[in-house]
Amino acid sequence: NRWRRRQLPKDLLKEVTPRNVLMIGPTGCGKTEVARRMAKLSDAPFLKVEATKFTEVGYHGRDVDQIVRDLMDVSMNLTKKRQMEKLRGEAKLLVEDRILDMLSGPEYSGTKGQRESFRSMLQEGLLENQELEVDVPENLGGAGGKDGDGAVLAFGGDSNSMNVQAMTDLMKKLGGAGGRGGRGGPPTERKKMPISEAREVILEIELEKLLEKVDLKKEAVAAAEETGIVFIDEIDKICSSRDFNSKSADASAEGVQRDLLPLVEGTTISTKFGNVNTDYMLFIGSGAFHAVKPSDMLPELQGRLPIRVELNGLTEDDLYKILTVPEANLVRQQIELIKTEGVELRFEDEALRQIAKTAAHLNRTVENIGARRLHTVMERIMEEISFQAAEMELESEVVVTKDLVKERLSDILTKSDLSKYIL
C-alpha cells in the first residue's frame, strides 16, 4: 500500500495515510523480524525502540520525540550510503587522476607521454608499493568525527540537541579556519602510505567532496517522512489492567501512551536535520499482552493502530523449518564454523527433528521464548564438539545423531522437570 500511495496523483497523495499495525504474540515468534524484513525489502529507514525506555514529559528519562530524531539518524546514514554507491564509479576515475598528480605532478605540467606511462604502470599494478604523501582529513569516515564527538563531550547533553548541534557547527567553522586544512577546510594530517592503501583513503576523500554537491539532509528528511517505519516493542508494558485498581510500577507509563498519541497521529518534530513531519510514517506496535489486553491501552491509541495481527506460538514443525529452510540457518552456521578447522560436520534429519521436539517441549514446560530456545539447545549440543574440533585430524567427519542429541540434552530435561518445584 505504501508503494501504491506513491503512485497516486498529488491531490490525493496527502489524504492517504498509512494504516498502523498492532502485532500481538508471544516472545520469539518473529514480530520484530517481520517488520525488519519489510523495511529491508522496501529499502526504508527502520527504527526499533523499546516502549519501556521512554518516560512522560517532566519525568527524568527519554522523551518520545527522541524516536523521530533517532529515525532521522538512520535515514541520514541510509541516504548517505545510497548516494555513495551511486557516486563510487565517478569517484574511482578521480582517484586515478589524483594518484597520477602525486606521481608526475598536475596534468598541465610535465609531458603527456610521461603521465600516460605512469597510468599504464598503475593500471597493471606495478606501482602498488610506491609510497605517497596524502593529506587525510582528521574526521574522515564519520558524520561528525572528532569535531562532533568533542563538542558533545565538552558541552554535555545529547548529540541530537539543537543547541549542541549549533555549537558543534560553530566549533567546526572555527577549527577549520586555521590548521593544516587551510582556506577554511577541515584540519588535515599528512600521512605516508603505499598506493595500495592510499587508493581507499583518496576514494573516501573524493566521495566526501562529491557528496557536498548533494542535498543529503533534504533527501534524508523526505525518506524518513514518506517511507520511515518505527517499530515500538513491548508496548504492552506501558499498559495497566483496568479490571483491577492496580497501577503500573512505572508512574509515567500511561503518560508515555499520551505522549505517543500526537507522534502516531501526526506532528512535526524539530531535529538537527530540520523539521520532520510524522503524518506518513508507519508505526508498528508489538507486545505479548500476557498480563493485559489490547483494550487496556488508551482508546485514542487503540484507534491509531487499526490493523491487528495475532501471531501464534511456534510449534515443533515451525522450529524444524527454522532450522532447515533459511539460507543462513543455525545448522549451516555451525557446519561452516567447524569447517574452518578442517572438520566436516553433518546433522542427520532425525537429529534435527529431535532438536525441534526438545525445543518445543522446553518452551511448553519451562518458559515460552520461541525460536530463541533453538540457540540454547544448539549450543548445548555443540559445546564439546566445538572444543574438540581444534584437536581433530584434518578432513575427519563428525555426525550428529538422534542419540547424541538425546544424550547431550538429557540433563536439561531433567532439570526443567524439577525446577517448577524449587521455591
Contacts of 257 (CB under 8 A, 6+ apart): 238, 239, 297, 298, 301
Of the listed ranges 131-140, 337-346, 414-423, the least confidently predicted one is 414-423
Residue 106 pLDDT greater than 80, yes or no: no
> Residue 111: is it exposed, middle or buried by C-beta count within 10 angstroms (0-12/13-18/19+)?
exposed
Higher pLDDT, 178 or 122: 122
**Which tens digits make up the pLDDT trace of 65-93?**
889 999 999 999 999 999 989 988 888 88
Using DSSP, state whether 182 is helix, strand or coil: coil
Residue 146 pLDDT greater than 50, yes or no: no
Q: What is the mean pLDDT of the chain?
A: 81
Residue 413 pLDDT greater than 80, yes or no: no
Residue 154 pLDDT greater than 50, yes or no: no
Note the pLDDT of residue 108.
54
Q: Are 51 and 232 in contact (CB under 8 A)?
A: yes
Note the pLDDT of residue 317.
94
Give the long-range contacts of residues 159-166, CB within 8 A, separation 24 or more: 160/66, 160/69, 160/70, 160/73, 160/271, 160/272, 161/272, 162/270, 162/272, 165/272
Model confidence, pTM: 0.77
Grid cell at residue 293: 489486553
| For residues 140-159, average pLDDT | 47
Note the pLDDT of residue 336.
93
Residue 56 pLDDT greater than 90, yes or no: no
Grid cell at residue 53: 525506555
Of the listed ranges 19-23, 106-110, 166-170, 405-409, the least confidently predicted one is 106-110
